[in-house]
A and B are shown apart, each in its own frame.
Chain A
Amino acid sequence: MRNLVAMAKRIIRQIVRDKRTLALLIIAPLLILTLVWFIFGAKAAEPNLAIIHYKSSDLLPAFKSSDYARMSPLQARQALADKKIDAYIDLETPVKVHLEGSDPSRNGLAMSKINKSMQIVQQINVKKMKASFTDIIHAQQKSIQEQQQTLRQMTEVMQRYAPSALTSIMQNAPKGEKPTATAAPEKVKLDVTYLHGNDDLNTFDSFGPAMVGIFVFLFIFMIGGVSFLRERTTGTLDRLMASPIKNYQIIWGYMIGFGLFVIVQSFILTCYIVYVLNIYTIGHLLDVLIIVFILSFSALSLSILLSTFASNELQMFQFIPLVIVPQVFLSGLFPIDTLPGWVRALGNLMPIHYSTEALRNIMIRGTRFEGWWFDGLILILFSVVFIVINILVIRASRPVVD
């Protein structure tokens, strides 16, 4: 126990005295998250659009002047080339859309806006058709009335001259059914409700949980790994091994020493994204903290394990593209449901995958313990496995009978 305290105390002193590391551990994740927040949290800009050949068009009401600039064809073409507008619409039938086209995301924005206007265009067309149909029906009704008039006159003549023939005709005549007035169809309007989240949920809100995991993992991995690697390369680990300290005390000392910093880091990071960046969260802060904390433990134990296979700092950092980058892509930041089975299986081996799942459950779906215990358990299992291997590795290099 005393050895554990001594180890933990030493590590805390090392981090506190090394201001750069301290800054990297606490301030760097905040900076990067803020940047991510600006990039993904910003509302998408409105596309700039214009219409041409609008004067003679009766579709004009669909294109409000606040959304669509009125331009001559020449102006529009020029503006498109200068990237002042993203698209212009030619209102001559058939309606044509000309897109700037170099940026897919802007194309998408322009098209979705135009599509909305086109729905109004369709409504206008439907109204026009309705009006012309009504005209036709009126004309037909008129001719029917005139025919009925003649028929009535004929019936009167027949009643006067041949009543028996009339009765047989009347009996055989098809019974006309009076057309019942059909109810006008209700206007189609979508009523959207959200099981989780709301329509304000932006990209950052859904990225956030994954991002927290990635950055906590990355920084703990780097600092923990290098710190243990130095222990090996400077020879202090040998000195430890030539002392009565027990193998598990070395590893757990590290876990505890860094663990205390991780608590501080997780707390600052979580409070920052919840209260400063205002990420969408309906879950409890404590649950978020617990998950971030468990995740850091698996990052720390993994980094200590991998530092065994590195002989200097550069080799330690070579693990980042191997260990961190795949986790970024397979952790749930991007949908992986359509990927081949083996890639998804790979994703299941990654700690951040579980932290993202758990943090989404907590922050967006608002679940408590029942929503994240499984992911938390797997993260703890990761740590336990890594810690056990670490202790075995140290034992293998220390042939002393315990």
Chain B
Amino acid sequence: MTYYLSVFINGHFYLYWLLNISQSHSIIINEHSVQLGNTKDVTIMSYPVKGEHLHKHYKNQIVLNDVSLTLHEGEIYGLIGPSGAGKTTLVRILLGLEKADKGAVELFEQKPTLNAFRSLGYMAQSDALYNELSAYQNLDFFASIQGMSGKAKKQRILEVAKTVNLEKDLKKSVAQFSGGMKRRLSLAAALVHRPRLYLLDEPTVGLDPMIRRNIWTLFHYLKGKGATIIVTTHVMDEVAQCDRVGLLSEGKLIAQGAPKELMDHYGVPSVEEIFIAIEKAGDKK
């Protein structure tokens, strides 16, 4: 059952992509039949990710301390905090790559299953690419294990490569890529199967401002298509572009909300200073 649902979902998204990015209209007609019926009811889910009372520790170091977090459909959620605050661990636990000591994770309002991963795009801090392979072969592999095949796969790979501006470098081996190109290819690999939910761990680290802006434009575009994005970042001007942010400090989610509201609430001019404001408030107590 879940498998068919995900086929519906993919079909639905496929349509979006083709309408907006691809000039080719030949396949859309085929996809129309898939879009009929209850597709709309299925795709509208209020909580793509939900983590409740998550605890995690390594040896005697507490990494996450009672973190609860719920994402809404179609929002960009920024997870910010100093290094070692537990951002990556939180993302990995939400993904099901790590097990929380306590607490529960739900993906698309049910316990995580392999099928839920079909609608999930993950980009780790490391590029996670096969250096021996060409860019095309990398995307081909990740698309294949996400269940894509044939012409649709090929077309989608070219599409995604265009999105991240790598369409001319598809034949090159990844070993010859620069850091920025690898980062973009890594992002393309997370996009290739048209997920509904993106978990991106520092997607723009080490990229020049131009590419960074393009990537954020892409995020807004994806959001416009109904995707939910959770992104960890250090860069504060990116924080302002998030719909909501969660401030993670020493394993605790110390504040959560729209950047503007948070700044107003604490009476500070930037999100960075919220950390300082909260710290001061804690000292006073």
Residues of A within 8 A of B (CB): 2-3, 5-7, 9-10, 13-14, 17-18, 234-236, 238-246, 397-402
Nearest opposing residue in chain B for A21, CB measure: B132
- The interface residues of chain A lying within 8 Å CB-to-CB of B125 are 235
- Having A3-B144, A17-B133, A245-B145, one finds 9 other A-B pairs with CB under 8 Å, namely A6-B145, A18-B132, A234-B128, A238-B92, A239-B128, A241-B96, A243-B142, A400-B112, A401-B113
Q: For the complex, what is the distance from the CA of A244 to the CA of B121, rounded to whole Å?
A: 11
Question: 19 A-B Cβ contacts within 8 A?
Answer: A9-B144, A17-B132, A17-B134, A234-B129, A235-B128, A236-B128, A236-B129, A238-B97, A238-B122, A241-B97, A242-B120, A243-B146, A244-B117, A245-B114, A397-B97, A399-B112, A401-B112, A401-B113, A402-B113
Residues on B facing A (Cβ under 8 Å): 92, 95-99, 111-115, 117-118, 120, 122, 124-134, 137, 141-142, 144-147, 149, 173, 189, 199
Q: Which of B118, B134, B137, B142 contacts A239 (CB 8 A)?
A: B142
CB pair A239–B113 under 8 Å, yes or no, is no
Q: A6-B145, A10-B133, A400-B96 are in contact. Are A234 and B127 (CB under 8 A)?
A: yes
Given A2-B144, A241-B97, A244-B146, CB of A10 within 8 Å of CB of B130: yes
A239 to B195: give the CA distance in the assembly, Å.
14
Q: Which residue of A lies closest to B134 (CB)?
A: A17
Q: How far is the CA of A18 from the CA of B147 in the complex (A)?
A: 27
Q: How many Å lie between the Cα of A18 and that of B134 in the bound state?
A: 11
Greatest chain A CB density within 10 A among B132, B133, B134 is at B132
Among all A-B residue pairs, the 6 with the closest Cβ atoms: A235-B128, A6-B144, A399-B99, A235-B126, A242-B122, A400-B96
Q: What's the Cα separation between A234 and B129 when bound, in Å?
A: 7
Q: How far apart are B112's CB and chain A's nearest CB, in angstroms?
A: 5
Question: Which of A7, A9, A238, A398 neighbours the largest number of chain B CB atoms within 10 Å of its CB?
Answer: A238
- B117 contacts across to A, CB distance below 8 A: 242-244, 400
B129 x A246 contact (CB < 8 A): no
What residues of B have a CB within 8 angstroms of the CB of A5 in the complex?
144
How many pairs, one residue from A and one from B, have CB atoms within 8 Å of each other in the complex? 93
Bound form: Cα–Cα A26–B137 in Å: 24
Residues of B within 8 A of A397 (CB): 97-98
Contact partners of A10 in chain B: CB under 8 A: 130, 133, 137, 141
Inter-subunit contact A235/B145 (CB<8 Å): no
Contact call A239/B189, Cβ cutoff below 8 A: yes
Closest to A17 in B: B132
Across the interface, do B126 and A234 meet the contact criterion of CB distance under 8 Å?
Answer: yes
Query: Please, how many angstroms separate the alpha-carbon atoms of A18 and B130 in the complex?
Result: 11
The minimal Cβ–Cβ distance linking A57 to chain B, given in whole angstroms, is: 75
The smallest C-beta distance from B159 to any residue of chain A, in angstroms, reads: 19
The residues of A that contact B145 with a CB separation of less than 8 Å are 3, 6-7, 240, 243-245
List, in ascending order, chain A residues with CB within 8 A of B199's CB.
Answer: 242
> Which chain A residues lie closer than 8 Å to B149 at the CB level?
2
CB distance from B213 to the nearest CB of A (A): 26
Q: Which A residues are in CB contact (< 8 Å) with B120?
A: 242
Interface centre among B96, B99, B141 (most CB of A within 10 A): B141
Q: Chain A residues near B96 (CB, 8 Å)?
A: 241-242, 398-400
Q: Report the separation of the CA atoms of residues A13 and B147 in the bound assembly, to the nearest whole angstrom.
A: 19
Q: Chain A residues with Cβ under 8 A from B114's Cβ? A: 244-246, 400, 402
How far apart are A13's CB and chain B's nearest CB, in angstroms?
6
What residues on B are CB-neighbors of A239 within 8 Å? Answer: 122, 124, 128, 142, 189
Taking CB atoms, residues of chain B closer than 8 Å to A400 are 96, 112-114, 117
**A399 proximity list for chain B (CB < 8 A):** 96, 98-99, 112
Q: Name which residue of chain A comes closest to B119, CB basis.
A: A244
Contact A2 B132 (CB under 8 A): no
Q: Which of B99, B132, B147, B189 contacts A14 (CB 8 A)?
A: B132
Q: Chain A's nearest CB lies how many Å from the CB of B81?
A: 21
Q: How far is the CB of A314 from chain B (nearest CB, A)?
A: 18
Q: A6's closest neighbor in chain B, by CB?
A: B144
| Cβ contacts under 8 Å, A241 to chain B | 96-97
Bound-state Cα–Cα, A6 to B127, Å? 20
Chain B residue numbers with a CB within 8 Å of A18 are 132
A75 to B127 CA separation, bound complex (whole angstroms): 76
- Inter-chain contact A14/B144, CB cutoff 8 Å: no
Q: Closest chain B residue to A233 by CB distance?
A: B126
Bound-complex Cα distance A307 to B118 (A): 28
Given contacts A6-B145, A401-B112, A402-B114, is CB(A242)–CB(B126) below 8 Å? no
How far apart are B123's CB and chain A's nearest CB, in angstroms? 8
Q: Which of A2, A234, A235, A246 contacts B147 (CB 8 A)?
A: A2
Interface centre among B99, B114, B137, B199 (most CB of A within 10 A): B114
Q: Give Cα distance in the complex from A237 to B210, angstroms.
A: 30
Report the nearest A residue to B141, measured CB to CB: A10
Distance from A256 Cβ to chain B, minimum over Cβ atoms (Å): 14
CB-based nearest A residue for B111: A401
Q: How far is the CB of A6 from chain B (nearest CB, A)?
A: 4
Query: In the complex, how many angstroms separate the beta carbon of B50 from the nearest chain A beta carbon?
Result: 15
How far is the CB of B234 from the nearest CB of chain A, in Å?
19
Nearest CB in chain B: distance from A159 CB, A = 121
Nearest-neighbor residue (CB-CB) of B113 within chain A: A401
Q: Give min CB distance, A9 to chain B, whole Å.
A: 8
Chain B proximity of A3: nearest CB distance (Å): 5
Query: Interface centre among A14, A234, A241, A244, by most B CB within 10 Å?
Result: A244
- Are the C-beta atoms of A244 and B126 separated by less than 8 Å? no
> How far apart are A21's CB and chain B's nearest CB, in angstroms?
8
Complex: A13 Cα to B97 Cα, angstroms: 27
Minimal Cβ-Cβ distance residue in B for A19: B132
In angstroms, Cα B113 to Cα A334, docked, is 53
Chain A, Cβ-Cβ closest to B117? A244
A246 CA to B115 CA in the complex, in Å?
10
A residues in contact with B122, CB < 8 Å: 238-239, 242
Residue picked from A13, A246, A402, most chain B C-beta under 10 Å: A13
Contact among A9, A235, A401 with B127 in the assembled complex (CB-CB below 8 Å)? A235
Q: Nearest CB to that of A253 among chain B residues? A: B145
